[in-house]
Structure 1
């Protein structure tokens, strides 16, 4: 039994092998990336069992995605396949040092055809945590219905529900801002843990003071709320109280994509281990700091040994002050 289960679209990633505009790039590195599978992979590296499933095309790209996720130790036995739609792709462009652009090709993809009939309900029922993001419910109406059905199953079986809004504005603009907001707030109101960035909280709930977003999340029904303020700090609130955890500073940001997923995985790993929310947020901050030093969505995800060593390193920089 996996303690952690998640579902959503994982894409094939083509990352430019050299800097410069794509028109001048002669070769690419083939990888994978997807918010939900990133978190599942991160949790396995942190020592926890994890299940990911989704819908991919029954072709070489689809089988490549599943093989790569499975190779990281994630349970993929409930993935479904279709011959009616392609596996989504995205491309990373490194125009110059520390300037990254990402292009998505996911319109009418296999992942967007996921339905509530494709869900592995038995996995959700048996898990300790179900993690969902704000990406999947915006892919299509059937994906939104699937997310709601997954949450309902979790609620019926006492599975803790984690929600990371993970806003993708290309999807939001295509669907319509008001419809997208209504969907994500509906999901947030059913989550036990809400993990938005400060800018995401503002988009979801309007302009408020930072502390008010914590209160808003609790008023919606969440048991725990974490608000991330970029690389500076995170605020948190639960039944034990309210607090702040400063971020760890890094010397160089190589690739910020995937840092939020690493942060979420660190928080969730802490909760699985019955740590306090403050300790869990600190672990999330450590994972996020380690992720951004390596190119790729999953390549920089640290092992538990690396995270523990990082947290014990007296020479690291924490909250802008050397410890």
Structure 2
């Protein structure tokens, strides 16, 4: 087994300095962001092996994505595409609210298709991880996600999905049946309570998600911590008290922490503890993936162990 395999759209990320309307911003930083690549970086930082695949355009943003992921220790399969690499612009309208504008319609990432996915990568991975973002981007992206899941399942490779519902990409009505089908094919499912309520009854979110098929169901609930049902047993881990600088990327850090420990053979309670600590560490640093921690930093925060 070669570690985590994931795929999806990674974009350039323009972030306005300071707080207030974008009109009055005087400085910007430029980086990268994408749920799947964030998880790949997070796993690599925690000592695991990870591979990310996606389409990138013939532009500086595409080149930056390749170089940043490779520098982070992620094995990168960047499929060249003739169109542009997607872009997002983020600013803090106030101390409490962040706003993101996406420029991704027709982007290189949205043109991902089943033929881009090497079957050997899917069959030889330790875990194949997908999100609910990719199937919302285009019909070919959706087909690629379902093909990847089926190929992994046929090979006995565990499939992980982070529901990651994005209202800007599709309606709840359109998303619910697709996400429900994906959860039914997965072994490991991550969701917020609101995301889970898209397609299961709220009376017992954990139990109702588990009834769809996954053996490991984890509900991420921000400052409340997480609850999980793993192998029929229920767990609850509280959040760690930290000063929040930027909440973006916390969910991806959580997923990376859980999957890194799962691939390392850790028990469920340890996986959840590491996931909580990774998410807590990520919110103390600005950026989508810049704050993802290594093992020593998790230990300093009070979570995780020091496996290398």
Query: Normalized against structure 2, the TM-score is what?
Result: 0.95
Q: Which residue of 1 aligns with 2:38?
A: 38
Measured in 1, the distance between the counterparts of 2:137 and 2:199 equals: 18
For 1:179, the equivalent position in structure 2 comes to 174
Aligned residue in 1 for 2:125: 127
Aligned position for 2:143: 145
> Which stretch has the larger CA shift, 140-149 or 11-20?
11-20
In the alignment, what sits opposite 1:280? 271
Contact 1:98 1:253 in 2 (8 A): no
2:22 corresponds to 1:22: yes
- Where do 1:79-90 residues align within 5 Å? 79-83=78-82, 85-90=83-88
1:304 aligns with 2:295: yes
The alpha-carbon deviation at position 121 of structure 1 amounts to 2.0
CA contact (8 A) 2:273 2:303 kept: no
Give 1:217 shift: 1.9
> What's the CA shift for 1:97?
3.1
CA RMSD of aligned residues (A): 1.5
1:221 counterpart (199, 207, 213): 213
1:256 aligns with 2:254: no
Following the alignment from structure 1 to structure 2, what is the Cα–Cα distance between the partners of residues 100 and 141?
29
Kindly state the Cα deviation for residue 29 of structure 1 after the two structures are TM-superposed: 0.5
Q: Note if contact 2:248-2:283 (Cα within 8 Å) is conserved in structure 1.
A: yes
> Structure 1 residues 288, 312: closer, same or farther in 2, change over 3 A?
closer
Q: 1:242 aligns to what?
A: 234
Aligned equivalents of 1:23 and 1:97: distance in 2?
A: 16
For 1:256 and 1:108, the matched residues in 2 are separated by 28
Deviations 1:56-79 (A, max 9, x none): 112222111111111111001x22
The DSSP-based 3-state class of the residue aligned with 1:204 is: coil
- For 1:203, the equivalent position in structure 2 comes to 198
CA contact (8 A) 1:14 1:31 kept: yes
Runs of 4+ residues over 4 Å off in structure 1: none
1:103 aligns to 2:94 (yes or no): no
Secondary structure of residue in 1 paired with 2:169: helix
Structure 1 equivalent of residue 61 of structure 2: 61
Q: Secondary structure at the match of 2:197?
A: helix
Q: Is the Cα–Cα contact under 8 Å of residues 215 and 230 in structure 2 kept in the other structure?
A: yes
SS at match of 1:293: coil
Higher mean alpha-carbon deviation, 228-237 vs 38-47, is at: 228-237
Give the aligned length: 304
SS of equivalent to 1:178 = helix
Conserved? CA contact 2:87–2:103, under 8 Å: yes
- Match of 1:18, SS? strand
Q: Distance in 2 between matches of 1:58 and 1:2?
A: 29
Once the two structures are TM-superposed, the CA of residue 312 in structure 1 deviates from its matched residue by 5.9
Deviates more, 1:230-239 or 1:158-167: 230-239
**CA separation of 1:240 and 1:186: change in aligned 2, threshold 3 A:** closer
| Structure 1 CA distance for aligned equivalents of residues 93 and 221 of structure 2 | 26
SS class of match (1:195): strand
Matched, 1:12 2:12: yes
Aligned-pair CA distance for 1:278: 1.9
Structure 2 vs 1, CA of residues 312 and 124 (structure 1 numbering), >3 Å: closer, same or farther? closer
Give the 3-state SS of the residue equivalent to 1:108 in structure 2.
coil
C-alpha separation between the residues in 2 aligned to 1:29 and 1:118? 31
